[in-house]
Structure 1
Amino acid sequence: MPGSTINAAEPLALTRLKGVGPKLAEQLQRLHINSIADLLFHLPFRYEDRSRIVPIGSLQPGQSAVLQGAVRSADIVMGKRRSLLVKLHDNSGTLSLRFYHFSAAQKNQFKAGNLIRCYGEARRGASGLEIYHPEYHLLESGDEALPEACLTPVYPATEGISQPRLRQLMDQALDMLQAGELPMTDLLPLDWRARWRLPGLEETLLFLHRPPASVQQHQLASGQHPAQRRLILEELLAHQLSMQRLRAGIQAQGAPAIPPARELPAALLRGLPFTPTGAQQRVVAEIAVDLAKPLPMLRLVQGDVGSGKTLVAALAAAQVLEAGFQVALMAPTEILAEQHFVNLGRWFEPLGINCAWLGGKSRGKARTQSLEQISSGEARMIIGTHALFQQDVHFQRLGLVIIDEQHRFGVHQRLSLKEKGHLDGLAPHQLIMTATPIPRTLAMSAYAELDTSIIDELPPGRSPIQTVAIPDTRRPEVIMRVDNACREGAQAYWVCTLIEESEALQCQAAELTAQDLRESLPHLRIGLVHGRLKAAEKAAVMAAFKAHELDLLVATTVIEVGVDVPNSSLMIIENPERLGLAQLHQLRGRVGRGSVRSSCVLLYKTPLGFTSKQRLQVMRDSQDGFYIAEQDLMIRGPGEMLGTRQTGLQLLRVADLQRDADLIPMVREMAEQLWYQHRNQVDPLILRWLGDAERFAAV
């Protein structure tokens, strides 16, 4: 969550607040609160109703409430854990307050007859209804008024900063706001607020930190209150404007205008044993129009698994290569980059285009030779991994950057490759591809600076994939199914996944699985591929599998993308509950690439949680990548779906792309108007909501 500035003047320091010294200010920075303005934009994530006292006798388990009563007793109880048990009673009943962490002074506060007011959640315990570690204070008299005329806010907190401390600081900031000591700049034009019936900024912040007890709480809980909608709109608008500013900044540099090609694309197509689909031809035409403009192309190509994105990229590259420029294609993994190198080399080398490879594991003479070919321009089509943006890589005349599976790259990696292409003040064109279909609401927000093309047609002859979910207690049956399929001439994948991030553990799991399967199926030819194998070893295993010299390939998720073996018709995915839907869909797409009926077995561990059951049901129900992506967004949310290194979407404070999808069209319209009619409001609005984190929105 980025810092913000809410007025033109220097933001007021947190140390202006009573009780805030250097140490507390440093702790608040962990919450991205660097000024009093930031504090006001640190909004509650829920509210508690402490505006009325609930009789003890009417309290229900699971209910949070304010209670008031007299202490009947306070005893130290020795059980599994030592605790202080305080009996509290009123005219309607009795309950216990239990403290596991307490001091002698605290115990002495609970003298019989003392009046206590407390707040907490009632649970069933050893002594009946109990509240564990309630917030409480002693009363001077039984008729002391309730201090809370408003709902009590609950804020995102961090270690060392309690809710009472945050509320006390917030009260000071709000008092300063009301007294005019903290002038607020409302960055939305006045006529907009009237047109869309939006409350003013000061009114909005006061309401959200101190909502009256009479408010409709379901509105607040669902993010539908006008005050929330006002800030949701503003935050989404800031993200949209950030994307628009990024696009304008890139396109201000200009790019080489690449004329439509005649010879190279036609020659490439003549060498293929198939004809491009209508969808592929349409997307290639859209790209060709972009390339012919003197502005950097910024185009995202979405296509489901097996829709033929590689051919689209090759035809785009052909237009640029024919004009005498170089093309760089960057893929996120060695295995995918190698696959592209093989395919593109097979298509382009016969046409006189020299292809070069540069991977992270390229060493010695091979690397030196590739670098020389790239810098001299001898290599025209360059394929590689993140190694392409390393400091010693110099292009002679880079005209097009193609980025595959872009959400897997860190932002700086992508920008570094783009910046390498600058020639005479011109930037290279950018073509970004993904086989992970992006839901429309997410694309409109996360990729607002990109034009989008969709390959919505699969090549003819693809067979549907039957997907079943089977508990791992039936593992012997699954092994038998693999045996039968391979005996009939088919090939199969067995994919091992681990929840641990450790590549070493994943590889170890794959090795153990391969060993077990070799013992169970000694007559089958079984190969193993994982991330710790050398590039040459992986390539050799994959080549053997493709040539049907192996029947079964045991692998980690490194085979998620880039593997095309039409004869493989069975895939087993272990522990599918540990993966997101998009990744499962990608893995499943490794089969069904030929005309043979294909199957995918999701071999899950029991018991399954609710979310895991949802995921597996979606996989059984559909093979539509866009439907699956929508479901993935609903289940996991945008931040996780795009990856932790992607954009500023995980930084959203009040907006929720799934819940607030209906606002996106309005936000796009507002961004367009603000950009052209109120340009002076753009930078302050972006700064307020994104601050320094805006750079993470770049693609």
Structure 2
Amino acid sequence: MAVARDGTPLERLPGIGPRLGERLGRLGITRVEDLPFHLPLRYEDRSRCVRLGELRPGESVLAEGEITAAEVVAGRRRRLVCRLADGSGSLELVFFHFFGAHRQRLTRGARVRVFGEVRPGPVMLQMVHPEWEVVAADAPPPAGGLTPCYPATEGVTQQQLRRAVTGALESAEAVRDWLPSALVQRQQLPDLATALATVHAPPIEADTRALLEGRHPAVRRLAFEELLAHRLSLLRLRRAHQAARPAPVLAGGEDRHAALLQRLGFALTDAQSRVRREIAADLASEQPTLRLVQGDVGSGKTVVAALAALTAVASGHQAAVMAPTELLAEQHFRNFRDWLEPLGVRVAWVSGRLSAARRRETLAALAEGEAQVVIGTHALFQEGVRFARLGLVVVDEQHRFGVHQRLALRDKGDDGRTQPHQLVMTATPIPRTLAMTAYADLDVSVIDELPPGRQPVTTVAIPDSRRAEVVERVRAACAEGRQAYWVCTLVESSELLEAEAAEATAERLRESLPELRVGLVHGRVKASDKEAVMAAFEAGELDLLVATTVIEVGVNVPNASLMIIENPERLGLAQLHQLRGRVGRGDAQSSCVLLYHGPLTETARARLGVLRESNDGFRIARRDLELRGPGELLGTRQTGALEYRIADLHRDADLIDAVQAEADALLDDYPEAAAALIRRWVGEGERYAQV
């Protein structure tokens, strides 16, 4: 039996047994309540029968006639062949897969109505495996309207899907309209019954193109409801989180703030100052902070996080900073140690590769409160890590963590009386529409300004047939005293992928550029060796660093002015922009070379074109959303967390403000309706609670 998630099992509908229910599950249909929202892919006009003499190849039409001959033809593949005639012409029906019912009913003299694509045949026009039904000689003409064709899967026919959807539409609970009538009128939406009837059984005069492209009011109503349900899901999750425990009031530390800013030697940008004030206001409240800080590559999020950590320390609490990779965590540790320890703040490091003795010492310092700020990877939320008074959790590149991991770290600071504030950061610019839907449980701050003096990076796309020119470009840059990155997408060669392997590339570059000092970093290098190579590159002891995408975030070498990215067509725009952000951090003009392997697909060409034209991370992210969708952009595609059934964040962007405006009031005034909408569109639990 198909598992029904908080709804009516499919087997309650006539004609759906365990096997069909299992197949429907492959389409994401596990409840009767899912069927009305499984929308057609196209519509077929079956409002009139076309005379057989008027048929033309390539048309999909409804036709009717009498069977004048029917036989099973032997050959390489046995087939049932029937000839249909209506006085104006003939048509051959061919069935390669046929059963007893075909042979019993498709006999000479039977009157049959068929629908299918007309194709040329060796003798006459054919339909191969048409939909068919035996009709009486005096059968009424087809009913007016358009017939829906649904996304299907192996073993599920269109007739089964139509029958199932029709049955679901007759279920009062499945199609109950949970939107208050005042909201429907305010937003000028059709009611649910009208919208579903229009989508599944449009009249012959309906604008089917608008229906299929999602521009029709009927589809817009469904998209609005889906977006609203997902926002309600996250708002409800946020309220539950904030109601569970108050947070400690964190304030003060202005003297240390001033000392840190003086040590940095530069003033905060206006955007950094604005976000700093927003965070300070959050921390000074008992309401647990849930804030996302997003900013383009190099916008200075880490400094803002360090100032927040100083506020926690000034209030007698600890701060924990979690990063998704060892490399990024190590970079944060070095920054926080260099910035905070001269101010009298002890900064600790928790990593899976610590020696047993060092780990015991560090964990004891955390448990006793001697370590005030701790940096680490997922090792921070492992069993055995205890905090004396955890007041602030900072999660960098939060979309790379499952939310259960982020919540596990928060729970370590839950002492039964308070829970820590949460600050999450990302250097992946997130389009406004996506931020408002994916992060409805978070307040969002944007650092939309780069520090003065940052040079825009010039980007060019070059086919790998011109590799020798690119190698000479590296030689010239390093001869001027600059450094370069060469990024590959694989560690070892693979017959299945054409991407250049980092190890082979490093060896070839050492041969081609013997005068340069070449280092190699990838995910399989021992952590200690990787750290040594990165330290040597940062110190200027290496000229060229060959790496995989492990250097995507957290690497800051101002003297590096050239970035080569192999096979950029394999990466998303956001990731390419992150990699490009490793250069352009100093005062020299910097360049990024996208060394692609042709021929490029149309999507890949468009993606690389956007990167060449813009250094604006938010513009790039908007285009990435259009090209790849929200799940891939946030790195959540595998979890299904952001896969909408009907709504499209790019197409339906103009609905987001209205959804945001209605959600809070609906949750307050109509909690039963809000819960029902969440069940309909999100399923059991809250969306991210299952990640």
* Alignment TM-score > 0.5, same fold: yes
* C-alpha displacement of 1:163: 2.5
Q: Superposed, which structure 2 residues align to 1:152-167 within 5 Å?
A: 152-167=147-162
How far is 1:696 from its partner?
A: 1.6
Determine the structure 2 residue equivalent to 1:636.
628
**Secondary structure of the equivalent of 2:684?**
helix
Matched residue, 1:211? 202
Deviations along 1:70-108, one digit per CA (max 9) or x if unpaired, are: 6789786978x8887878777787777666656799689
Alignment of 1:231 onto 2:229: no
Q: Is the 8 A contact 1:497 1:506 kept in 2?
A: no
One-letter amino acid matched to 2:183: W
| Deviation (angstroms), 1:155 | 3.0
2:345 matches 1:353: yes
CA contact (8 A) 1:56 1:94 kept: yes
Which residue number corresponds to residue 545 of structure 2?
Answer: 553
1:134 aligns with 2:129: yes
Q: Distance in 2 between matches of 1:127 and 1:358?
A: 77
Corresponding position of 1:535: 527
Of 28, 31, 39, 2:35 maps to: 39
Q: Counterpart of 1:668?
A: 660
Distance 1:697 1:210 in 2: 37
Q: Distance in 2 between matches of 1:320 and 1:248?
A: 23
Q: Name the structure 1 match of 2:648.
A: 656
Is it true that 1:16 corresponds to 2:15 in the alignment? no
Aligned partner of 2:473 in structure 1 is: 481
Hey, what's the Cα distance between the residues in 2 that align with 1:58 and 1:518?
71
Separation in structure 2 between the aligned mates of residue 395 and residue 297 of structure 1, nearest angstrom: 19
Cα distance between partner residues in 1 of 2:484 and 2:139? 74
Q: Given the superposition, is the C-alpha separation of residues 342 and 290 from structure 1 closer, same or farther in structure 2, using an over 3 Å criterion? A: same
User: Greater CA deviation, 572-581 or 199-208?
Assistant: 199-208
Aligned partner (choices 364, 371, 386) of residue 379 of structure 1? 371
Q: Is the 8 A contact 2:64 2:113 kept in 1?
A: yes
Give 1:242's match in structure 2, choosing from 227, 233, 246: 233
Q: CA deviation at 1:294?
A: 1.0
Deviations along 1:354-381, one digit per CA (max 9) or x if unpaired, are: 1111223334223222222222212111
Q: CA deviation at 1:640?
A: 1.6
Q: Which residue of structure 2 lines up, in the alignment, with residue 65 of structure 1?
A: 61
Residue of structure 2 aligned with 1:565, choices 557, 563, 567? 557
Shift of the alpha carbon at 1:512?
1.3
- Counterpart amino acid of 2:273? Q
Q: 1:251 aligns with which of 237, 242, 264?
A: 242
Asked whether the 8 Å contact 1:339–1:563 carries over to 2, the reply is yes
Please state if 1:264 is matched with 2:260. no
Residue 330 of structure 1: how far off its partner (Å): 0.8
Q: Is the 8 A contact 1:411 1:645 kept in 2?
A: no
Residues in 1 aligned to 2:228 and 2:563: alpha-carbon distance in whole angstroms: 44
1:523–1:27 CA distance, 2 compared to 1 (3 A): same
Letter in 2 for 1:136: E
Matching residue within 410, 415, 418 for 1:418: 410
1:121–1:236 distance in 2 versus 1, CA, 3 Å: same
1:544 matched to 2:536:
yes
Query: Do the aligned partners of 1:332 and 1:404 also contact (CA within 8 Å) in 2?
Result: yes
Contact 1:328 1:401 in 2 (8 A): yes
Q: How big is the shift at 1:406?
A: 1.0
- Kindly report which structure 2 residues correspond to 1:422-461, keeping only aligned pairs within 5 A, or say none: 422-461=414-453
Cα deviation for residue 435 of structure 1 reads: 0.7
> Is the contact between residue 3 and residue 692 of structure 1 (CA under 8 Å) also seen in structure 2?
no
Q: 1:275 aligns with which of 267, 273, 279?
A: 267
Q: Judging changes above 3 Å, is the alpha-carbon distance between structure 1 residues 484 and 169 closer, same or farther for their aligned structure 2 residues?
A: same
Query: Which is further off, 532-541 or 216-225?
Result: 216-225
Task: Report SS of the residue matched to 1:553.
Answer: strand
Given candidates 47, 51, 55, the residue that maps to 1:51 is: 47
- Tell me, what secondary structure is at the counterpart of 1:603? strand
C-alpha contact (below 8 Å) 1:246/1:449 kept by paired residues: yes
SS at match of 1:282: helix
Q: Which residue pairs with 1:8 in the alignment?
A: none
Which of 213, 226, 230 is the matching residue for 1:222? Answer: 213
TM-aligned CA deviation for residue 26 of structure 1: 4.0
Matched, 1:589 2:584: no
SS in 1 for 2:424: strand
**TM-aligned CA deviation for residue 345 of structure 1:** 0.8
Please say if residues 255 and 429 of structure 1, whose CA atoms lie closer than 8 Å, have aligned partners that are also in contact: yes
Tell me the alpha carbon deviations over residues 585-643 of structure 1, each in whole angstroms, 9 at most, x when there is no partner: 00000111111111111111111111001101100110000100110011111122112
Task: Indicate which of 299, 309, 314 corresponds to 1:317.
Answer: 309
- Shift, 1:261, TM fit: 2.2
Q: Which amino acid aligns with 2:13?
A: L
Distance 1:128 1:351, change over 3 A: farther
Task: In structure 1, give the amino acid aligned to 2:229.
Answer: A
Q: In structure 2, what is the Cα distance between the partners aligned to 1:556 and 1:391?
A: 31
Corresponding residue for residue 596 of structure 2? 604
Between the aligned partners of 1:314 and 1:641, the Cα distance in structure 2 is 27
CA displacement, residues 516-562 of structure 1 (integer Å, 9 cap, x when unaligned): 22222222211110011121111111111111211111111111001
CA–CA distance in structure 2, aligned partners of residues 129 and 335 of structure 1: 66
What runs of 5+ residues in structure 1 fail to find an aligned partner?
6-10
The amino acid of 1:198's aligned partner reads L
> Structure 2 vs 1, CA of residues 125 and 561 (structure 1 numbering), >3 Å: closer, same or farther?
farther
- Cα distance, 1:17–1:108 mapped onto 2, change above 3 Å: closer
1:505 deviates by 8.7
TM-score (norm 2): 0.90
CA distance in 1, matches of 2:79, 2:504: 48
Deviations 1:51-79 (A, max 9, x none): 33456777677654334566789786978
Cα distance in 1 between the residues matched to 2:75 and 2:580: 56
Q: Deviations over 1:361-415 (max 9, x none)?
A: 3342232222222222121111111111112211111111111111111121111
Secondary structure class of the residue paired with 1:170 = helix
Asked if residue 308 in structure 1 is aligned to residue 300 in structure 2, the reply is yes
* 1:77–1:84 contact (8 Å) kept in structure 2: no
Match of 1:625 in 2: 617
- Shift in alpha-carbon separation, 1:117–1:463, aligned structure 2, 3 A: same
Which of 652, 656, 681 does residue 689 from structure 1 map onto?
A: 681
Please identify, of 493-502 and 305-314, the stretch whose mean Cα deviation from structure 2 is larger.
493-502
Q: Find the aligned partners of 1:500 and 1:413 in 2 and give their Cα distance.
A: 31
- SS in structure 2 opposite 1:650? coil
Count of residues paired in the alignment: 687
Contact 2:306 2:336 in 1 (8 A): yes
Q: TM-score, normalised by structure 1?
A: 0.89
Find the partner of 1:202 among 193, 198, 206.
193
Shift, 1:432, TM fit: 1.0
Q: AA paired with 2:222?
A: L
- Give the SS at the match of 1:433: strand
1:3 and 1:691 in contact (8 A); partners too: no
In the alignment, the residues of structure 1 paired with residue 672 and residue 453 of structure 2 have an alpha-carbon distance, to the nearest angstrom, of: 55
Q: Name the CA distance, whole Å, in 2 between partners of 1:183 and 1:524.
A: 68
Displacement of 1:275 after TM fit?
A: 2.2
Q: Distance in 2 between matches of 1:528 and 1:508?
A: 14
Q: Deviations over 1:250-294 (max 9, x none)?
A: 222211111232222112112113222222122111111111111
